[in-house]
Amino acid sequence: MADAKNGSWKRFDAEMKWYERIRDEVMAAAEEAGVSMRQQLRLELGFEEVLVNIISYAYDDPGYVWLKTSEEGDCFRIEFADHGKPFDPLEKDCRPPDDLPLEKRKPGGYGIFLVKKNFKSVEYKYEELFGQMANHLSLLLDKE
């Protein structure tokens, strides 16, 4: 994955024990692509949100996650794919209403909101990848 320009898919076990290795590979690709330190922080935040959710919720039994990084002009793209339960994180806003007092708010719902806010574009498709239907989430980040 270190060669961000080519953008080839790489498969990992969807388990938390692989999180740091996967993160390190993605961040190395971002650095190689010239993503600024400020944007690398945003990338890491979005990466964590998406990968932890895939690991935690996509599968009832062990599964895989595929990642691909690529450069697109002045942008860096990271793509996630899994064969877990179909789930479109962009379908609805899961944040609690802003007028609800803090003590009555349930945790959750802010992660994808922050991802959408920090990335230039966020796209979801449910499509055939690697011979099966897959969740395919793509995040595009300005390098600067």
pLDDT tens-digit map of 98-132 = 665 766 655 556 778 889 999 999 999 999 999 99
Please give the torsion angle defined by the CA atoms of residues 34, 82, 15 and 109, in that order, rounded to the nearest 10 degrees.
Answer: 80
pLDDT at residue 90 in the model:
87
Residue 94 has pLDDT above 70, yes or no: no
Dist. CA 92–CA 103, nearest whole Å = 23
Mean of all residue pLDDT scores within the chain: 90
Over residues 72-83, the pLDDT tens digits come to: 999 999 999 999
Residue 135 has pLDDT above 60, yes or no: yes
pTM: 0.88
pLDDT at residue 85 in the model:
96
Separation of first and last alpha carbons in the chain: 21
CATH number belonging to domain 10-142:
3.30.565.10
Q: What percent of the chain has pLDDT over 90?
A: 75
pLDDT at residue 18 in the model:
97
Burial 102-112 (b: 16+ CB within 10 A, else e): eeeeeeeeebb
> Per mean pLDDT, which range of 26-40, 79-93, 99-113 is the poorest?
99-113
Report residue 104 as tokens: 């009555």
pLDDT at residue 1 in the model:
57
Strand order in the sheet with 10-13: 10-13, 64-72, 75-82, 132-142, 121-129
17: left (phi over 0), alpha (psi -120 to 50) or beta: alpha
